[in-house]
Amino acid sequence: MFEIGSSLREARMRQKLDLSQVEQATHIRGRYLGALEDERFDLLPGPAYAKGFLRTYAEYLGLDGQRFVDEYNSRFAPTEEPPPAPPVRFRRRRLARDPRLVVLPVALILALLGWRLASTRGHHTAFRPPPSHTASTTAPPTSTRTVTTTPATARLVLTATRGPCWISVRLGSKTGAFLYEKTLEPGQSARFAATRLWIRIGAPWNLDATLNGKATPLPGSTGNVIVTTSGVRTG
């Protein structure tokens, strides 16, 4: 076992770097870097961020990032994520029928029948055929409408172009099935295809993204996004 925080701090000091220089290079906020060196992981947004920041910081200093993540998992990471809240069930309220709503239409029908019989009693109406006319043979103009179809699967490609970026991908939501977790180095890409994806991104400003072959923007700050066939939104 080795000390995570002191190992990071000693490696940084050997290279004569201050936290502001590391922040500018890794795009990790200085207060988070300080929390890593002090092993104050409770100050980070969550376990996934802690592992991503640890890997990025350690590899920037030339250390084995996976070793730091493994040490964090063995000593600090929670054993399991909290279960999702149970669904809330409710019973629909039945609307009571007002008897007057049934009686009123029946009374109207009877009144109309009585009036019809009274107006036609004792009278004979001659039937006259409608005047003949020539039917128009001109067909109505047809219109052509372009139908745009939405693809059934969201095909997402993430490429690190401006620096490293840690990503964690799950199917559907943050409690969905785990699909992928890695720090993409510059030039590396990751491809996904699903109807809905939940992604936690550590440094979105370092990524370029395409959805179904078209460039799509990502949020400007660290956070979560939902990817569907209609686009990318914060989640």
Summarize pLDDT for 154-185 with one digit per residue, the tens.
998 999 999 888 898 898 898 888 888 888 88
Q: Which domain holds residue 168?
A: 154-234
CATH code of the domain containing 59: 1.10.260.40
In a domain? residue 17: yes
Rounded percentage of the chain residues whose pLDDT exceeds 70? 71
pLDDT at position 215 is 94
In a domain? residue 215: yes
CATH code of the domain containing 219: 2.60.40
In a domain? residue 96: no
* Cβ–Cβ < 8 Å for 33, 24: no
Q: How far apart are CA 185 and CA 162, in angstroms?
A: 9
Q: At what angle do helices 47-60 and 65-75 cross, to 10 degrees?
A: 150
**Domain limit, last residue, from 51, 75, 99:** 75
**Domain limit, last residue, from 75, 94, 110:** 75
Give the pLDDT band (50/70/90) at residue 143.
Answer: low
In a domain? residue 226: yes
| Phi-psi region at 186: left, alpha or beta (left = phi > 0; alpha = psi -120 to 50) | beta
In a domain? residue 143: no
pLDDT at 134 over 50: no
Task: Quick: pLDDT tens for 59-118.
Answer: 999 999 999 999 999 988 776 555 544 544 435 445 445 555 444 566 667 767 766 665
Beta-bridge partners for 209: 158, 216
Q: How far apart are CA 225 and CA 158, in angstroms?
A: 13
Q: What is the pTM of this model?
A: 0.43
Task: Quick: pLDDT tens for 14-32.
Answer: 999 999 999 999 999 999 9
Domain count across the chain: 2
Rounded to the nearest 5°, which phi and psi values hold at 66?
A: -65, -35
In a domain? residue 144: no
**Domain limit, last residue, from 56, 75, 94:** 75
